[in-house]
DNA sequence: TAGTGGTCTAGACCACCCT
DNA sequence: GGGTGGTCTAGACCACTAC
């Protein structure tokens, strides 16, 4: 409620409005105050309010009607991917209403395959660090993720890799880089015997397969990954606003 | 290049900049003019330029670096879903580099199932119009889509339904409504014999299954759909910018 | 007609990067 | 230091909707 000037005002207003929607201060289907009322309440300009509302509208959280008002979208429950959760599996699980946890299955050093080298813009055979991790939603294993990082990117003085970190925290700590964006392919795959066993699921049943590459702000590939997601437990649900 | 005032300035600038990137005026990895240069060139305010660039950055098309400049993202080729293409299959196919076409397989009138009634907020058994359509990428069948619309929403005077229209055009013409947003579940499925036959693909092979509901701006469900996408031909590739 | 959101402007100050 | 993007303001005018 109280607005500081150390954190961007728009970020704070964003958090406050989301919190109010979550708590039901603005109930599903209900109306939000007008832009001018909000700008008065928070003592910020209408433009600032508008950037916040624009973002929430793009995520489908609110619906804006010219000449009428702004409404809380009541059909938005259980949406977990406001297009920021696909490569943040912990958040994806959290947004789906489960408690996320990460189990590190293996951390190995090996030569890169040709395919990996191509994706990561390195020479085939160059050493890479391969992380195999299992994500849980509450007690259920739901995502098996394999991430590959070029050795050359890793700071050897940063200590032993901790496989339970979120990927951006991992990169931050061991590569001193920030992930800027990611490109991912969503595909349909099938659980082979090993994967089915790890995910505690039937062999030959369909799974979502997510292939992803993370880039830093200099547009260099940092990590590539290949993950299997049990979509019987964890839905991939997303909203798209028209235009 | 020439700016009118009848169409929003931001939209025109957006189109022009995208076109320049597409044509290589701003080559992959290259730098765009600064915000102030662009605002001078188009004779619009910097704020307007920024809204355009912000949108392009959110889609991953450009990368912005404080204190440096704005760059064309070179890793963005073949990305087909800037999170606006999932429920616009024609555009999805187009963005993937194919020529889209739609084949109407069947248009039938029937009673709604319990599940459909729940999704569409109608009574089970109420009449619905069921459209079954096949999307082609060039010559290959890639998406089998089934859409269901409550009869009560359809204007009987609008004539015989044309199954080759895009869904939003269809709704516009026969329901006089505009689609405001959509909620979709992306899942992994398997091609049964019939579906495999229609898609000209192996039975029991994995397919992406997309379940979707379209809403209008009054937040009423208009259409629900269930589609099978052959992801061996048509990739679902998306970009996500950090935060 | 009054009030809402949609568009756009002109300008300020800041944080950051390059040289 | 000079330029770039990041944040924010105050105010204008328009298009639309509900009453």
Task: Tell me the pLDDT tens digit for each residue of B57-103.
Answer: 888 889 999 999 999 998 877 676 665 567 789 988 988 889 999 99
Separation between Cα atoms, residue A142 and residue A201, nearest integer Å: 9
- Of A38-42, A222-226, A237-241, B96-100, least confident by mean pLDDT is A237-241
Contact B187 A231 (CB under 8 A): yes
| Distance separating alpha carbons of residues A17 and A71, to the nearest angstrom | 12
Name the residue with tokens 């059909």. Answer: A75
For strand D, give the nucleotides within 7 A of a protein CB.
2-12, 15-18
Q: Is the pLDDT of residue B138 over 60?
A: yes
Searching chain A, which residue's CA lies closest to the CA of residue B60?
A181
What average pLDDT score do residues A126-131 get? 96
Token pair for B128:
């619905």
Beta bridge partner(s), residue B101:
B136
Distance CA A88, CA B110 (A): 42
Tokens of A238: 């997303």
- Whether residues B181 and A63 touch (CB distance < 8 A) is answered with yes
pLDDT at A187 over 80: yes
- Is A188 within 8 Å of B178 when comparing Cβ atoms? no
pLDDT for the residue B3: 63
Strand C at less than 7 A from CB of A35: yes
Which strands, in side-by-side order, build the sheet including B140-150? Answer: A236-241, B179-190, B206-216, B221-229, B140-150, B127-137, B100-111
* Amino acid A30: pLDDT: 93
Interface of B with A in 47-106 (CB under 8 A): 47, 58, 60, 63, 65, 71, 73-76, 79, 83-84, 86-87
Q: How many CB atoms lie within 10 A of CB B239?
A: 21
Query: Minimal Cα distance from B168: which residue of A?
Result: A242
The pLDDT assigned to B88 comes to 84
The CA-atom distances, in angstroms, between A130 and each of A10, A149, A243 are: 39, 7, 40
pLDDT at A243: 64
pLDDT digits (tens, 9 = 90+) for A92-114: 898 888 999 999 999 999 999 99
CB contact under 8 A, B185 and A235: yes
Q: How far is CA B107 from CA A57, A128, B27, B164, in A?
A: 34, 54, 46, 11
| Number of other residues whose CB lies within 10 A of the CB of residue A66 | 6
**Domains of chain B, first to last:** 9-78 (1.10.10.10), 83-229 (3.40.1410.10)
Q: Under 8 Å CB-to-CB from A83, ≥6 apart: which residues? A: A59, A238, B83, B238, B240
Q: For A124-132, what is the mean pLDDT?
A: 95
Phi, psi dihedral angles at A142 (to 5 degrees): -125, -25
Q: What is the pLDDT of residue A84?
A: 57
Q: Which among B168, B183, B188 has CB closest to A206?
A: B188
Residue carrying structure tokens 């293996």: A106
Q: How far apart (Å, rounded) are the C-alpha atoms in residues B85 and B212?
A: 13
Q: By the 8 A CB rule, do B103 and B134 touch? A: yes
Per-residue pLDDT at A181 exceeds 90: no
pLDDT at B80: 65
Could you tell me the distance in Å between the CA of residue A101 and the C1' of nucleotide D14? 51
Helix (H) or strand (E) holding B36: helix B35-42
Other C-beta atoms lying within 10 Å of the C-beta of residue B104? 14
Across the interface, whether the CB atoms of B79 and A188 are under 8 A apart is answered no
Share the mean pLDDT of chain B: 90
Indicate the pLDDT class of residue A177, thresholds 50, 70 and 90: confident
| Highest mean pLDDT (candidates A83-97, B68-82, B147-161) | B147-161
Q: Is the pLDDT of residue A80 over 70?
A: no
pLDDT of residue B82: 63
Res. B243: pLDDT tops 70: no
Q: What is the pLDDT of residue B68?
A: 94
Q: Is the dihedral of CA A185, A186, A189, A193 positive or negative?
A: positive
Nearest residue, CB atoms, B179 vs list A63, A184, A242: A242
Tell which B residues from 117 to 176 touch A, by Cβ distance under 8 Å.
168
Neighbours of B125 (CB within 10 A): 12
Rounded to the nearest 10 degrees, what angle do helices A9-23 and A35-42 cross at?
110
pLDDT band for A81, please (50, 70, 90 cuts): low
Which of A35-39, A55-59, A70-74, B70-74 shows the lowest per-residue confidence on average (mean pLDDT)? A55-59
Q: Kindly report which listed range (A76-85, B9-18, B166-175) carries the lowest average pLDDT score.
A: A76-85
Partner-chain contact A184 B240, CB within 8 Å: yes
Strand partners, B133: B104, B145
Q: What is the pLDDT of residue B218?
A: 83
Confidence band for A116, pLDDT divided at 50, 70 and 90 = very high
Confidence class for position A223, pLDDT limits 50, 70, 90: very high
Give residue numbers, 68 to 87 of A, with CB < 7 Å from strand C.
Answer: 68-70
Chain A positions in Cβ-Cβ contact with residue B75 (cut-off 8 Å): 183, 213, 215, 219, 221
pLDDT level of residue B197 (50, 70, 90 thresholds): very high
Burial class for B17, CB neighbours closer than 10 Å (0-12, 13-18, 19+): buried
Half-sphere exposure of A154 (CA within 13 A, CB side): 17
Using alpha carbons only, how large is chain A's radius of gyration in Å? 21
* Percent of chain A residues topping a pLDDT of 90: 67
The predicted-structure confidence for A143-155, as pLDDT tens digits, reads as follows 999 999 999 999 8
- Nearest-CA neighbor of A78 among A98, A63, A56, A64? A98
Burial of A23 (0-12, 13-18, 19+ CB in 10 A): exposed
Q: Which residue is nearest to nucleotide D6 (CA to C1')?
A: B66
Q: Which are the contacts of B36, defined by CB distance < 8 A and separation ≥ 6? A: B46
């Amino acid at each position: 409620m109280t607005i500081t000037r150390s954190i961007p005002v728009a970020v704070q207003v964003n958090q406050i409005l989301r919190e109010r929607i979550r708590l039901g201060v603005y109930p599903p289907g209900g109306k939000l105050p007008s832009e001018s009322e909000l700008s008065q309440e928070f003592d910020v300009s209408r433009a600032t309010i508008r950037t916040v509302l624009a973002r929430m509208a793009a995520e489908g959280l609110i619906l804006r009607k010219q000449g009428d008002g702004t409404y809380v979208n009541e059909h938005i429950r259980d949406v977990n991917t406001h297009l920021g959760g696909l490569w943040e599996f912990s958040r994806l699980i959290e947004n789906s209403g489960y408690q996320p946890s990460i189990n590190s299955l293996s951390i190995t050093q090996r030569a890169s395959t040709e395919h990996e080298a191509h994706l990561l813009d390195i020479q085939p055979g160059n050493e890479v660090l391969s992380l195999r991790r299992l994500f849980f939603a509450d007690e259920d294993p739901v995502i098996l993720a394999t991430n590959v990082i070029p050795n050359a990117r890793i700071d050897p003085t940063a200590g032993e890799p901790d496989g339970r970190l979120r990927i951006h925290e991992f990169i931050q700590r061991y590569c001193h880089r920030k992930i800027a964006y990611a490109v991912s392919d969503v595909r349909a795959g099938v659980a082979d015997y090993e994967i089915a066993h790890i995910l505690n699921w039937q062999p030959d049943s369909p799974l979502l397969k997510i292939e992803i590459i993370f880039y830093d702000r200099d547009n260099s590939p940092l990590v590539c990954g290949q993950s299997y997601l049990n979509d019987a437990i964890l839905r991939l649900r997303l909203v798209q606003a028209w235009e």
